[in-house]
Amino acid sequence: MFQMDLLPEQLGDLPSKQEIAKDAYLINGFALPNQATLLADLQHIISVAPLRHMETPGGFIMSVAMTNCGTLGWVTDRQGYRYTTHDPLSGQPWPAMPNSFMQLAHHAAIETGFNDFVPDACLINQYKVGARMTLHQDKNELDFSQPIVSVSLGIPAVFQLGGLSRSDKPIKLALTHGDVVVWGGESRLKFHGVMPLKANCHPATGDYRINLTFRKAG
């Protein structure tokens, strides 16, 4: 699970930033310099608040395994989608957001013009082969003026980014280890999803893809 941090000279001219939609940016490799610390902090969180397959309000079990860190965590069960202060599995508060996570999200936001992003929630998604995320909007947060910062680790995935209506045709984007997506403004409420994950292997995470999404939820 662990891997050495890359030295700056091994990064070449990464990271590169591109606008993928209005107010939405992909920064390739932005998380690479801190990956060893991120992965170690992630292991700790998962040891305290294990990844689990949550149930949707409609009674489906999600193919993506999830947990959270921060003062708020996103959950779903038969009662609906919402943020909670406590992990329903343990009854304990969600693990604190590690400084490495907070700094990465804050700095990625600055890089794309969102200057005061201080997340209070980080949803951790783990995908194994075949796992997917159907098109959805992130709308359980209170403040849509704040962006979402999304960090991809491990094996690649195809991300879909659509429009404000579910029927808008999504663009597809490959996300690989270390990539960071920041979206806010006009893109904040766009539909998006992840195509079923193809089998692959990555030295940092084995057979899995991990996605961290940082939000200002409360």
Work out whether 211 is an interface residue with ligand MD6 (CB under 6 A).
yes
Binding mask 138-157 for Fe ion (x = CB under 5 A): x-------------------
Work out whether 34 is an interface residue with ligand MD6 (CB under 6 A).
no
Among the listed residues 100, 125, 187, 205, the single contact to ligand MD6 using CB under 6 A: 125
Among the listed residues 34, 112, 146, 213, the single contact to ligand MD6 using CB under 6 A: 213
Work out whether 138 is an interface residue with ligand MD6 (CB under 6 A).
yes
Work out whether 179 is an interface residue with Fe ion (CB under 5 A).
no
Work out whether 120 is an interface residue with Fe ion (CB under 5 A).
no
Work out whether 105 is an interface residue with ligand MD6 (CB under 6 A).
no
Shortest Cβ 213–ligand MD6 spacing (Å): 5
Among the listed residues 69, 72, 181, 204, the single contact to ligand MD6 using CB under 6 A: 181
Question: What is the three-state SS of the chain?
Answer: CCCCCCCHHHHCCCCEEEEEECCEEEEECCCHHHHHHHHHHHHHHHHHCCCECCECCCCCECCCEEEEEECEEEEEECCEEEEECECCCCCCECCCCCHHHHHHHHHHHHHCCCCCCCCCEEEEEEECCCCCEEEECCCCCCCCCCCEEEEEEECCEEEEECCCCCCCCCEEEEECCCCEEEECHHHCCCCEEECCCCCCCECCCECCEEEEEEECCC
